[in-house]
């Protein structure tokens, strides 16, 4: 069964088309990253899943329930970390979790959850005195109450230090191992790359890619970057390399030639550089990071639209 199914979801705010005919399926048990530049429509989509916002057109089905007609059933089984959630300054961390337990009407091991997000020591302090990262941990703790079947997290790493970000990843993996589907938006590509089974990239409300990270690499011309060490390097050599068959781009980076290959193998490119341009002394191949892929997919869309 699909945990999330969006069909033709569109949302307009006046003149702004925030989400544009979005079709997306997230399978049960996946850790799914939802990426896009600022203003792409991520939060709006998440709000539609939780029925905080009504779509202008289309349907959203979450855990088998229509998100609009059966929002309560969805929220009962879903842990949510909303974008920019404000904690209640005068309530303690523990009170927040008791509140989450009551709202959801579930049994919950509050002590255990406090330990997991590492705010047990501060549980009886008022949340108004918490640091940004502690607040984020508290909101995550509220999402974990009731062992949800689905976690929907909008920018969960906001405010977390590197240790906090690592702990967040571990919690997501643990929840997933328990059978929970995890759907989260993020601008922190390392975080996404480290935990996600699949990602979707949206740009200006439209889906531009959905795949595993390896799949995105395979589909992208810049799946791999070649760094070539040559004895002399100047603009003329770069231009000659760029003009070779199968070369996507060539530039100088840190005293090396940086080359991307289009449809031919990197060895064919290396051979052509060596025989037709200049002697190759050494080379290395680096897989594109998710950040490279993100930039490529979102820039491509801008070029298409231009
Ligand atoms: N309540 C609203 N009223 C008017 N416009 C809105 C509203 N909510 C969102 N928008 C607009 O919809 C578009 C998508 O916004 P959204 O917050 O979904 O983007 P996002 O991908 O979450 O961005 P970010 O990464 O910056 O959080 C933006 O142009 C935004 O200004």
pLDDT at residue 1, rounded to an integer: 80
Q: Per residue in 281-300, pLDDT tens?
A: 999 988 777 887 888 788 76
DSSP 223: S
Residue-by-residue DSSP string for 265-285: -HHHHHHHIIIII--EEEEEE
CA end-to-end distance (rounded Å), the chain:
39
pLDDT at residue 221, rounded to an integer: 60
- Comparing 256 with 159, which gets the higher pLDDT? 256
Q: Three-state SS for 71? A: helix
pLDDT of residue 306 exceeding 60: no
Give dist(CA 79, CA 74) in Å, integer.
10
For residues 27 and 182, is the Cβ–Cβ distance under 8 A? no
134-141 mean pLDDT: 93
Residue labelled with tokens 């609009």: 68
Give yes or no for residue 158 CB within 6 A of ligand 1: no
Domain with CATH 3.40.50.300 in the chain: 2-212
Give yes or no for residue 41 CB within 6 A of ligand 1: yes
Strand ranges inside 72-197, DSSP E: 78-81, 150-154, 181-185
Residue labelled with tokens 């502690």: 134
pLDDT at residue 246, rounded to an integer: 82
Q: Looking at domain 2-212, what is its CATH homologous superfamily?
A: P-loop containing nucleotide triphosphate hydrolases (3.40.50.300)
Instruction: Let me know if 107 is exposed, middle or buried by CB neighbors in 10 A (0-12, 13-18, 19+).
Output: exposed
CA–centroid distance, 115 to ligand 1, in Å, is: 34
Q: Which of 38, 39, 192 to mutate to test the pocket of ligand 1 (most atoms within 8 A of CB)?
A: 39
Domain with CATH 3.30.70.100 in the chain: 224-287
Give yes or no for residue 260 CB within 6 A of ligand 1: no
151-174 mean pLDDT: 89
Give the ipTM: 0.97
Give dist(CA 11, CA 44) in Å, integer.
8
Average per-residue pLDDT for the chain = 90
Instruction: Specify whether domain 224-287 bears CATH 3.40.630.10.
Output: no
């Amino acid at each position: 069964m699909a945990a999330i199914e969006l069909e033709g979801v569109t949302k307009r705010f006046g003149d702004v088309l925030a989400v544009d005919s979005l079709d997306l399926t997230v399978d049960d048990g996946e850790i799914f990253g939802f990426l896009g530049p600022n203003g792409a429509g991520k939060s709006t989509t998440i709000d539609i899943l939780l029925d905080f916002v009504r779509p202008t057109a289309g349907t959203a089905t979450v855990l088998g329930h229509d998100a609009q007609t059966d929002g309560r059933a969805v929220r009962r089984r879903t842990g949510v970390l909303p974008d920019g959630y404000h904690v209640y300054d005068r309530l303690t961390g523990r009170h927040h979790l008791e509140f989450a337990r009551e709202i959801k009407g579930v049994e919950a091991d509050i002590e255990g959850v406090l330990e997991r997000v590492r705010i047990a020591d501060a549980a009886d302090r008022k949340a108004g005195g918490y640091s940004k990262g502690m607040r984020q941990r508290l909101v995550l703790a509220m999402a974990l109450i009731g062992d949800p079947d689905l976690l929907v997290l909008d920018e969960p790493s906001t405010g977390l230090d590197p240790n906090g970000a690592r702990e967040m990843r571990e919690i997501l993996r643990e929840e997933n191992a328990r059978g929970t589907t995890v759907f989260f938006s993020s601008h922190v590509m390392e975080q996404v790359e480290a935990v996600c089974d699949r990602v979707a990239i949206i740009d200006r409300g439209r889906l531009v890619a959905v795949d595993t990270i390896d799949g995105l690499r395979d589909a992208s011309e810049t799946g791999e970057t070649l760094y070539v060490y040559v004895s002399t390097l100047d603009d003329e050599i770069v231009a000659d390399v760029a003009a070779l068959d199968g070369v996507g781009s060539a530039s100088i980076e840190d005293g090396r030639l940086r080359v991307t290959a289009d449809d031919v193998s990197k060895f064919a490119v290396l051979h052509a550089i060596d025989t037709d341009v200049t002697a190759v002394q050494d080379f290395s191949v680096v897989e594109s990071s998710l950040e490279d892929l993100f930039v490529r997919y979102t820039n491509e869309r801008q070029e298409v639209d231009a």
